[in-house]
Structure 1
Amino acid sequence: MSEQPLLNVSDDESLGTVEIAPEVIEVITGIAASEVKGVSEMRGNFATGVVERFGKKSHGKGVKVDLTENGILIDLFVVLNFGVSIPKTAQELQENIRHTLKTMTALEMDEINVHVVGIQMENTNEGE
């Protein structure tokens, strides 16, 4: 397991603490991003591509979470469908991710940066 710090979300210490690993935030963010209309896929690295070839779904693919002293920073790398409004879709991504994370973890995100790394063109040779 990685040596990243855990997030402490407990306000009342009398019952104990609740800690959330950054990997959990990555998975929640990936699922919330895939719910937005216009997102074709998330851009991962070579390792996530190999894992998906063997049938395992990588929900944290295309998501990078940084824990800083200023707060939680999320970088999202997406491929959008051709014809969608990039600013509108990026804003919908930010709003859906912020809402989902707030609902599930009670954490406030400092930044959610959307990086559009590609456009998925329509498949024109379907009839062949």
Structure 2
Amino acid sequence: MNIAAADYDKTDIGTIQIAPEVIEVIAGLATVEVPGVAGMSGGFGGGIAELLGRKNLSKGVKVEVGQREAAVDVSIIVEFGNRIPEVAGAIQRGVKQAIESMTGLSVVEVNVHIHDVQFKAPEKQVAQDEETAVQRVK
């Protein structure tokens, strides 16, 4: 998707255009900074890219960009024990602020889709594994 430069993006030496992929990366980075977000949910294609060693910074983010406005959808995995409405609200505020401050576009909506809940590994398992490692080294 290509976007046309708005009037205020035209300068005496050319135009300034922001690719939708840039908006996706900004939204993705703002999302993972929110406490309670375990990760992004990007579907099958994103999982394959990660297995191949490529980190996709726009994983789980879809944007619609116009000349002056943007709409964002983010798909996340929440850490167990966090209040989902609070995490989603923090994502909405953070993504909106990041995109507006970095691009000058007005964000008309940020939709948050929760796809999963991640549970933390039990700490007993970790302690037991450490004991086994110590016993093997005798």
TM-score interval (norm. to shorter): 0.7 to 0.9
TM value normalised by structure 2:
0.81
SS of residue matched to 1:11:
helix
Closer/same/farther in 2, CA of residues 12 and 43 from structure 1, 3 Å limit: closer
**2:22 matched residue in structure 1:** 24
**1:8 matched residue in structure 2:** 5
Closer/same/farther in 2, CA of residues 66 and 41 from structure 1, 3 Å limit: same
Provide the identity percentage. Answer: 36
Between the aligned partners of 2:11 and 2:103, the Cα distance in structure 1 is 19
Between the aligned partners of 1:17 and 1:70, the Cα distance in structure 2 is 14
| 1:19 positional shift | 0.7
Structure 1's unaligned 5+ residue stretches are none
Between the aligned partners of 1:9 and 1:86, the Cα distance in structure 2 is 37
Closer/same/farther in 2, CA of residues 93 and 7 from structure 1, 3 Å limit: farther
| 1:95 positional shift | 0.7
Closer/same/farther in 2, CA of residues 10 and 40 from structure 1, 3 Å limit: farther
- RMSD between aligned alpha carbons? 2.1
Between the aligned partners of 1:84 and 1:12, the Cα distance in structure 2 is 41
TM value normalised by structure 1:
0.87
- Output one character per residue of 1:21-54: Cα deviation in whole Å (capped at 9) or x when no partner: 1111111111111111110010012121111112
**2:84 matched residue in structure 1:** 86
Between the aligned partners of 2:9 and 2:113, the Cα distance in structure 1 is 37
Considering fraction of residues, name the structure with more helix. Answer: 2
Between the aligned partners of 1:115 and 1:104, the Cα distance in structure 2 is 24
**2:49 matched residue in structure 1:** 51
Between the aligned partners of 1:59 and 1:12, the Cα distance in structure 2 is 26
Closer/same/farther in 2, CA of residues 121 and 7 from structure 1, 3 Å limit: farther
Query: 1:42-121 alignment to 2 at 5 Å?
Result: 42-67=40-65, 71-121=69-119
